[in-house]
A and B are shown apart, each in its own frame.
Chain A
Amino acid sequence: MRDLRLAFRAGGGFGLGLAFFLIVTVMVPFSVGPNSATLATIAPGVLWLGALLACLLSLDRLLALDWEDGSLDLLATAPLPLEGVLSIKALAHWLTTGLPLVLAAPVLGVLLNLPAGGYLWITLSLLIGTPALSVIGCFGAALTVGLKRGGLLMSLLVMPLYVPTLIFGAEVARRGAQGMAVETPLLMLGGITLGSIALLPFASAAVLRVNLR
């Protein structure tokens, strides 16, 4: 609740992830050439990778600000379970970073010459997959919250955890764009997201308690 309002008021965090996503997508044709057939092939993967990086970029703000001003200590002694607090934080991160990325993806797909059948699937796969990115990222942020230069370490820790989500998510988008069956990867993606949402907050809270003491 407060996190949402804060993220909107601070402004920066909200727009920054989106702007980063835009920049990455725009840079891709510069690096691989303007051939539309090539771009169409790689478009789903590029959009997924861009979204993932934009998510990662905004993660260090997730807990670091609360750590610095001491609110985390206070939240940990509040009558709310820390698992719930972290779930809400992950939700706030998703609403301010993940959701805008989902909405922006089809627009950026145009720039990358995404095939017509792909728009639905890229949006759907990001919609299902980005919550997992936020929840996993929240775990990474909780692991590294007290550390100096934790941001870089967090990327190193979180990236391998993102592998399955990225593979299944990009697979849905890629198969969708090529008109192939998407049920299996879609189910797996949904499973990862639901599993992460259900279980990871416990790990995040455990880790955060260790970091607070």
Chain B
Amino acid sequence: MPDLGKYADTVLSAYGLSALLLLGLLVMTLRRGAKVRAELAAVEQRVKSNG
């Protein structure tokens, strides 16, 4: 761990909040992607079986 000196709070909070936002975006993107993929598969199945 580097010595951040008197600005430790500043730097760490900047990294922390950014990481939170980036991860949040990533997780939401992937979750929505997976959900839509599953829903589409279900609908496709149904449509194919009904003709």
- Please say whether the chains A and B touch (CB closer than 8 A): no
**Which residues of A pack against B, CB within 8 Å?**
none
**Which residues of B pack against A, CB within 8 Å?**
none
